[in-house]
A and B are shown apart, each in its own frame.
Chain A
Amino acid sequence: MPMGGSQSGRTGDALSDPTFHRVPGLLGPIFEEAGTGDRQMREALFLTFNVDLGFFEARLLGPVRATGAAVTVVADAGVFAPDPRNVRSAGHGYALGLAAMHGAFHPKLTILAGPHRALIGIGSGNLTIGGWHSNDEVLTTIHASRDEGIPSIVSDVVAFLDQLPDQVAISPLARDGIVRTATQLSELRDAGTPVDTGHRLVTSLTGPILTTLPDPPVDELEIAAPFHDPAGQALKALIARYSPARVTVLAQPDQAVMDSGVLQTVAANAGCDLRFVQLDGEHLSPGRYRHGKVLTGLRADESAWSLVGSPNATAAALLGRVPTNNCEIAVLSQTSRSLLPQPTAPVVDVATLTKMIGPLPEDDGPAGPDGTVRLLEARAVDSGIEVHLSGPTPTDVAVEISPYAASPDTFELLGTITSGEAVHLFPGLFPAGTRVRIGEQLQFLAFPDQVVNRVRPAGAGRPNLDTTVTELFTSEVAAAQWHDALTRLLLTNGQTGARAGAPTTPSDGQSDDATTWRTLDDPDRWTEYAEDALTRLGMPIFQLAVGGAAPSKPVGSSLPNAAPAWEDRFDETSEAFEEEETAESAQTSDEESTVPASLSPSQRSRLRKWIADLVTLSPHLPPLERIAVTQLTIAGSSAQIWVSADGQNGWFEPLAVAVEAMARDDWPTTAADQAAGVTAVAIYRLRMAVPADERGPLAERFRALLQGMTPLLERVTAEAVADNLEVLAGSTLVPRSADDVLAEITDVCNATPERAILRVLERVLPEHDIAWAGPSRLIVAGRITNPKAIAGRVLNHAASLGELAVGVNAANGSWIVAAKIPGRVTVVEGGKGQTTYKTYDIPLQSNPARVLTGSEALRSSRVSVPPFNRPDPLDMVALARLGIDEVPLVK
């Protein structure tokens, strides 16, 4: 990022990394809560200034809904400018509310509340990718528990929520969400033991925040904020209230908005020493955007109190109150430490700090003579669409609509709200996701009954945390938990398996095999089941099981129809390498292995047993769990845990069992392609263990396995195979393509006996040219020193054919023809010497090839008689039957 000219006082010294007082974010507790699977949370509420709905829906909505909560988001209406192509679930997966007021609606509050627990975050981060990931933000996290105590600040939060709808115009459905959340929190508060932790919530609902701060004196104030009002009014008021000897402002050159000259003047006029500091070295190596807001009062060089939350160092945030100024909240606490990161260095050229960007995205000054009537809500009701404004409109306004399936760029007139109206009902039925617009203001059609839909408790099958494939193979604890979740699913089901499978699940514990999965073709049932499966499998394995298209789609937000025509197709590009790449830069490390090699014998043994146990469960599991088990078994086949890598005495049989469980003809439509893709990859992996000559128990098992797979494999697609190639990592010499897998599957599934024999011979005699010259006539050519031995090997591998003529033509001119019919073999040799004809009787159960490779004693079964240099009638029987009228055989 380009940097301006502000320089810190330190130059040339070794720089140290800045140290922040770090606290955990909210993502961990939310994922953890989702991972418990009891879904005890009832309400989730997000209050924010900016909102990035694409980020929210893609990254947060799923885990939050997985906690069991109905979700409500409220953002500032004045800056709400969503990308409509990024919004799928607003109005039905969650309530999207807008707050309209003269000042900025600026609180950053996250609440997840249930009857037993609540999680509350009060900070500076908006509901955006910056606020949750990339900025430096501040936060206070509150965990309340009915069993372990309720921090007293929870009552402050309840009071804030109780007052908020009365003071700020908010979309009605979101207002309902706020009320429900307040109610849920107050019930929890009343049910638990109050604990005073010394933290207090301050808000601008009841008066200017400045007036709620502790009384003077303080010796010094520390301020960190990305915005300072241009006239320095907030600083002036703070100095007037506390008369500090010194004020320290943590600046961020080029990013923090302030007029440093004005601030200096304000301080100088009050006789206060104003220092601007920046992180040491920040002018050389810019860090994250610092969006956190901190005001700390220091007494006798020790911190006395800190205000941490949403208010910037602006008049609108600190000096005013709702509704004419901003809506802000922050946590006031006693603290023993400065919250400024260290080390800092004085800014040398303070003038360079002045930066005014505008219009300020957090221009949280009063909106002025705005009076703009905001579009707050468009709600689907029985008789049409009810459009709610923030107040009576002074003029007629046109309302436009863009149905979900139509292009987000095109709107048509829905009707007009006449002056004086704040609510208007328009006739018409439109689906979820429909966009409603007044001028540039956008909202999404909301369905009151759907925004309070909650994901039901998982019940059986306690959930898995978000364990990855690698973790399953490296953590015995993770592996055990994962297996336990599936086992519990079976032990307690019927239930989950039944719910996933069908209403016809027998109650006597009969396996899921006996049920049908057809009912899962119902979109609602599938959605319900998929959400349960997500909880059981954990997100990474769930995504692996669902296939490549799933990860970018928020769970629980599927729309009733297929993907709209306008949906982005970012992934459909066939350029093998990106265009700015070279062969050098295109190289990726292909050294990664699924499993580290350094496992102890006992660990290897336990992992082997884990896989064996998993596949035993598989035939009784619902669809996605069954797919996941097969995928894990494929991935496990290349783990360094088997006696030998080739499948013998190891991974072959567990994988074969897993594949057997895939042989169903009633896969739900949504999962069928993925099931076929996974099965194809599994068969490809199994095929690697089959010996080149396709003989022996593994080959037999493989052939038997294929018998039941045809219906499923008939629908396999390259895309589904490609989605699952990653589970082959480590098992193949070079990365395989979907075409590789499909070619192999086609070969093994569709081969005639002749093709199968040719495939075997090509593998066991790779140095020779082998081809069928006609029905039952096979020719081998090449640098061959012993044609008879080669013919013998061919007859061995072609034992399944009752009648066969093998011609072997050596490059040196010698040749042989071995003609086999039931009970007899005729051998014709020639080339270098005289051509000879000999015929042998072959008793049943004997190997015909032995006349070519066995001892002279075996040849006593010869039935033709000398002279051998011309065929006698016996010789001609086999030759004639196989249509051989001249030797040697040629193509």
Chain B
Amino acid sequence: MTVTDPGWVDTGSFRPNPGQFPIRVERHLNSFVGDHLPGVTTVTNATRYYALHGLIAKIAQDESLDEPNTIDLLRRSEALLAYVTSVHSTSDEHDKRTPAPHGIDAILGGATTPNGIDLGTAAQIYSKAKWAFSNPYRGSELTLKILEPGGFTPGEWYDDAAARSRLAAVVEAARDATEVAAAQAAELANACLCTTAGSDDGTWLARLLSGDANQSLNEPTVGGLLWQFGRLVATATTVGEVTDADSLADLIMFDPNLRDHPQTEGMIAPHRWRGALLRKESVHALRLIWRDINRLVDGARAVPELIEAFADQLPTVTVAEFRSALPKRVSDTGQPLPAERELKQLPDLERWLAVLMLGAARLDDLEGQELRGFRGALEHTRGVWEELSPGWVAELLKRYDGRPVRDLGSSLATTLVHRSQRVALWKSRYDPRRQVLIFPARLHVKDGVAVKVFEETAPVPATRIPQYLSIARQTGMFTTDADGRFSVGPNGGRLV
């Protein structure tokens, strides 16, 4: 029997962290790009690492290296490749569009010597992970069969000669070197990340990343889908100006010449990508709306007041009236029109809402492969649309058709606040022993009060297209001119 005298509760550690995907509206899009752009992820941005990892695996196999020695060679080689690229980046010959090598900041910050770097130290500090940067690349390397599942061993499509063409010297130098002077690194300049396009490993990797051209056009494998996307990009560069992922996306979505181009006739990937990219517009609009709701919280704000403040920014016209003023979405021939690009006259929040409305309407515009790219198969289950999917938005619009847009905004904001807390609770982890609760959210609703713990952001949803364009350029599949316009490169022959 006890009464514990009153006091402040020791609730242990409450660990907020920002987390990502705060409203989890990108599930279908992520799933789509995973299936349709294999071999590329958002973090595999330097192509030559594919070759380096394959080469280290091959050497480990040939020399029967044990784990510590394999890791040691991997780390020393990655660290040296980073330094070689860093040294080369100061020369005029360096291609400035090349991504920074992994771990270079740590190397330059902690392993420099008067003449260069201490390679042993660099290999220790440039990455905290045991297997360094092979982990982020591993999934893609398995997909491309550069490595084999089940261990760190070379895979079926690993090309030893190509990998060694530029990297053998780096790996050999990395084996035993202690200090590497800048001059020594300069001698290895032909292994710099920027030289991939013009070397044998670039040719080999371009072959892998070009996918499989010998697939059925309407029932392709994953490799076939990769090839179809490459061909779509190659065709797009001849139809319009491709300077980045956004310009490419607009061509895929809205350009009738690309849609009907004989080069892509019979292929399914262009249609699916058109649907997926249109969906991306809705996903991004939801993120922007959520970010703007967060911006209305300065420290803390009662949730009802927050909802009201959000709704007050919206017009008083009815939803039906608002929708009737939206631009035309489809041409007479069924071609999607760039309605989402014709909303610039609207204030931001109304623009995001308009994009959502357009997305909901496009559900009825699209069919076949375009529809398949636009929405996930599970988003409509037993008559119920998944929350925040285009179909769900369409039903919401129907319910609010005759009511003010402000009421719609109020409902949408309530949904987003609720959803963000469900996501955070779903992601939270509690350790009863240590009484530690990890709660990943930027906006916490506490006892009816919304408290901003971290600033919210609204990144452009990942399509992997920026990464694809980058690595495709690095391998020589594509090249860019002085104005940044893409065209098919020396290793892109399989795409045309």
Contacts and interface: CB of A to CB of B under 8 A. Distances in A.
Interface of A: 1-4, 20-25, 27-28, 31, 49-50, 52, 54-55, 58-59, 79, 81, 83, 85-86, 123, 125-126, 128-145, 148-151, 153, 192, 195, 197, 199, 254-255, 288-289, 291-292, 294, 306, 308, 331, 333, 335, 339, 341, 357-362, 405-407, 409-410, 466, 468, 471, 539, 552, 564-566, 568-584, 586-591, 732-737, 739-740, 743-744, 766-767
B96 interface: no
Contacts of A466: 432-433
Given A575-B42, A590-B131, A2 B462 contact: no
A1 B300 CA distance: 9
A22 B10 CA distance: 5
A58 B433 CA distance: 17
A54 B421 contact: yes
A129 B7 contact: no
Contacts of B378: 569, 572
Given A133-B439, A407-B385, A578 B20 contact: yes
Question: Which of B9, B20, B61, B149 gathers the greatest number of chain A CB atoms within 10 Å?
Answer: B9
B138 interface: yes
B383 interface: yes
B378 to A, nearest CB: 7
A438 to B, nearest CB: 18
Given A292-B8, A357-B301, A361-B448, 15 more contacts: A24-B4, A79-B448, A85-B418, A128-B447, A134-B439, A137-B8, A141-B3, A150-B1, A151-B2, A288-B14, A565-B381, A575-B26, A578-B42, A586-B43, A587-B133
A259 B360 CA distance: 47
B114 interface: no
A306 B447 CA distance: 25
B6 A308 contact: yes
Interface string B12-50: 101010001100101100110111000001111100000
Contacts of A21: 7-8
Interface in B43-100: 43-45, 61-62, 67
B423 A570 contact: yes
B302 A358 contact: yes
A132 B299 CA distance: 21
Contacts of B449: 357, 361
A736 B135 CA distance: 11
B342 interface: no
A569 B41 contact: no
Interface in B99-128: 102-103, 127-128
B254 interface: no
A23 B42 contact: no
Nearest to A357: B302
Contact of B7 (A125, A138, A574, A766): A138
Nearest to B424: A129
A574 B383 CA distance: 25
A589 B419 CA distance: 31
B262 interface: no
Contacts of A135: 11, 446-447
Interface in B441-474: 444-449, 451-453, 457, 459, 461-462
Main secondary structure of the interface of B (DSSP, over half): mixed
Nearest to B455: A2
B67 to A, nearest CB: 5
Contacts of A571: 426
B3 A153 contact: yes
A734 B151 contact: yes
B382 interface: yes
B9 A255 contact: no
B8 A407 contact: no
Contacts of B11: 25, 27, 132-135, 137
B317 to A, nearest CB: 23
Contacts of B325: none
B43 A1 contact: no
Contact of A28 (B5, B31, B149, B435): B435
B246 interface: no
Given A466-B433, A583-B44, A736 B150 contact: yes
A83 B7 contact: no
B387 interface: yes
A134 B10 contact: no
A361 B447 contact: yes
A409 B395 contact: yes
Given A20-B7, A83-B422, A733-B152, A409 B133 contact: no
Contacts of B346: none
A358 B299 contact: no
B21 A129 contact: no
B155 interface: no
Contacts of B402: none
Contacts of B12: 25, 133
A142 B447 contact: no
A129 B425 CA distance: 9
A148 B142 CA distance: 64
B41 to A, nearest CB: 5
Contacts of A576: 34, 41-43, 139
A737 B135 CA distance: 12
Interface of B: 1-12, 14, 16, 20-21, 24, 26-27, 30-31, 33-35, 41-45, 61-62, 67, 102-103, 127-139, 142, 149-152, 298-305, 378, 381-387, 392, 395-396, 399, 418-419, 421-423, 425-427, 430, 432-433, 435, 437, 439, 444-449, 451-453, 457, 459, 461-462
B8 A138 contact: yes
A199 B6 CA distance: 10
Contacts of A584: 102-103, 127
Closest 4 CB pairs of A and B: A130-B446, A361-B448, A149-B1, A23-B7
B289 to A, nearest CB: 17
B215 to A, nearest CB: 21
Question: Which of B27, B43, B301, B433 gathers the greatest number of chain A CB atoms within 10 Å?
Answer: B43
A466 B33 CA distance: 40
A83 to B, nearest CB: 4
Contacts of B2: 141-143, 151
5 contacts: A195-B1, A409-B396, A565-B384, A569-B386, A583-B43
B130 A197 contact: no
A405 B381 CA distance: 11
A714 to B, nearest CB: 21
Nearest to A126: B447
Nearest to B1: A149
B238 to A, nearest CB: 30
B9 A134 contact: no
Contacts of B444: 129-130, 134
B111 to A, nearest CB: 16
Contact of A566 (B14, B150, B387): B387
Nearest to B19: A578
Nearest to B104: A584
Contacts of B142: 737, 739
Given A22-B8, A583-B43, A734-B151, A151 B1 contact: yes
A40 to B, nearest CB: 16
Contacts of B150: 736, 740, 743-744
B39 to A, nearest CB: 11
B451 A291 contact: no
B128 A589 contact: yes
Given A128-B447, A140-B3, A150-B1, A574 B34 contact: yes
B300 A579 contact: no
B130 A358 contact: no
A83 B10 contact: no
A732 B130 CA distance: 13
Question: Which of A59, A130, A133, A140 gathers the greatest number of chain B CB atoms within 10 Å?
Answer: A133
A85 B149 contact: no
Question: Which of B10, B128, B150, B387 gathers the greatest number of chain A CB atoms within 10 Å?
Answer: B150
B131 A306 contact: no
Contacts of B129: 587-590
A258 B279 CA distance: 47
